Amino acid sequence: MPRTARIDIPGLLHHVIVRGINRSDIFCGEDDKALFAERLSKLLVTTDTDCLAWSLMTNHFHLLLRPRTTKLAILMRRLLTGYAVVFNLRHHRSGHLFQNRYKSIVCQEDAYLLELVRYIHLNPLRAGLVASLEELDTYAWSGHAAIMGNTSLEWQQSDEILQMFAGKKQTARQKYRRFIADGVAMGKRNELVGGGLRRSRKLDGSDVFEAYDERILGSGDFVEQLWKETGFAETSGLVLPFPELAAEIARIFAVELTALLQGSRRKELIDARGALCFIATRKMGMNGAAVARALNISRSGVLVAARRGEEIYAKIPELQRLSE
């Protein structure tokens, strides 16, 4: 089944993650990183895009971008294509450099901007590219050093970040630095890269079902707002893809389709229904209330089933191929 289209509307905050193909290196040294940063800086200006955080690792990089007037896809296409061509020439290689298409998660700015700035800027420390926060303060290949005032990057929105901490820069940097230090103990935060956040839960952690979309980091209200803006809400209900998906799930689990849709409590049907709920709501962005109506269960029942289905999905490659 086809992958859901990206949400690409100017004005939205995007957490972009790009990895090397087969986890291979995309930066072989300082010169490569300098080349990439220079290319990025020019494209940010020409596409009128804000960069609020960034970090270059060895085999991947993170960007926190807010395109103002141009779609993100235009910047990313020019950035990745141009860099890959030059990288291949420099290192006498051919073929693809990056893994599949880049990952872009639309983020609810008020709730997640600072958390993402901290997560992205701590990546070099978590990966061992620097040994301490003191080294991170001067690490040339992330935005943290610029916010700390240890390097000058006109294309990074350092002042915008600092203003969220205090009016005076010196005080703001001290508070920002403490904020970054507090994040060290949090470790790798999968929920900020789409790998573990229960985005169908409310931000306070309660078990009230909310709209969910794999492409969006934010509350259910934020998800529904974006669905309306993109027209996705009109096509995310139970149209043709859901019957096809249910039939495929029934085939994989060797159960009757009618039994799958009628709420039987047999274990094989519970597992199949969990996989169906997980793929439909978490992977394909279908409306949870519509899924609940089709299965004759409550919206919270869809949430519970999807949690169970997540573990099942991870163990069965044939299920994974359904959403690719």
Q: Of 5-14, 43-52, 214-223, which range is least confident?
A: 214-223
pLDDT at 241: 62
Residues 148 and 238 in one domain: no
Of all residues in the chain, the percent with pLDDT exceeding 70 is 86
pLDDT at 205: 46
Span 48-73, average pLDDT: 95
Would you state the structure tokens that stand for residue 175, as one six-digit string? Answer: 């508070």
DSSP state of 142: B
Closest CA to 101 of 70, 72, 77, 71: 77
Last residue of a domain, which of 161, 192, 223? 192
For residue 306, being part of any structural domain is answered with yes
Residues 166 and 270 in one domain: no
For residue 267, being part of any structural domain is answered with yes
Residues 19 and 129 in one domain: yes
For residue 202, being part of any structural domain is answered with no
Residues 187 and 240 in one domain: no
Residues 143 and 275 in one domain: no
pLDDT at 83: 96
Chain segment 25-40, per-residue pLDDT in tens: 999 999 999 999 999 9
Last residue of a domain, which of 163, 192, 221? 192
For residue 33, being part of any structural domain is answered with yes
What is d(CA 34, CA 269) in angstroms, rounded to the nearest whole number?
54
Residues 72 and 134 in one domain: yes
DSSP state of 283: I
The answer, yes or no, to whether residue 256 has pLDDT greater than 80, is: yes
Span 18-31, average pLDDT: 94
What is d(CA 120, CA 126) in angstroms, rounded to the nearest whole number?
10
Q: Which helix (H) or strand (E) holds 51?
A: strand 49-56
Chain segment 96-121, per-residue pLDDT in tens: 999 877 889 999 888 889 999 999 99
Chain segment 200-235, per-residue pLDDT in tens: 444 444 444 556 677 888 877 788 788 777 766 544
For residue 205, being part of any structural domain is answered with no
For residue 217, being part of any structural domain is answered with no
CATH number of the domain where residue 279 is located: 1.10.1750.10
Residues 37 and 172 in one domain: yes
Residues 51 and 149 in one domain: yes
252, 262, 291 from 256: Cα distances, Å: 11, 10, 18
Span 69-87, average pLDDT: 94
Residues 174 and 256 in one domain: no
Of all residues in the chain, the percent with pLDDT exceeding 90 is 52
Residues 185 and 241 in one domain: no
Residues 144 and 250 in one domain: no
CATH number of the domain where residue 102 is located: 3.30.70.1290
For residue 204, being part of any structural domain is answered with no
Span 6-10, average pLDDT: 84
State the pLDDT confidence band at 127, using cuts at 50, 70 and 90: very high
pTM above 0.75, yes or no: no
Domain count within the chain? 2
For residue 216, being part of any structural domain is answered with no
State the pLDDT confidence band at 126, using cuts at 50, 70 and 90: very high
Last residue of a domain, which of 141, 175, 192? 192
Chain segment 262-302, per-residue pLDDT in tens: 766 778 889 999 999 988 888 777 777 778 888 888 888 88
What is d(CA 196, CA 190) in angstroms, rounded to the nearest whole number?
5
Residues 158 and 284 in one domain: no
Full residue range of the structural domain in which residue 276 is found = 233-322
Span 125-151, average pLDDT: 96
What is d(CA 91, CA 68) in angstroms, rounded to the nearest whole number?
35
The crossing angle, in degrees rounded to 10, of helices 241-253 and 267-277 is 140
The answer, yes or no, to whether residue 239 has pLDDT greater than 50, is: no
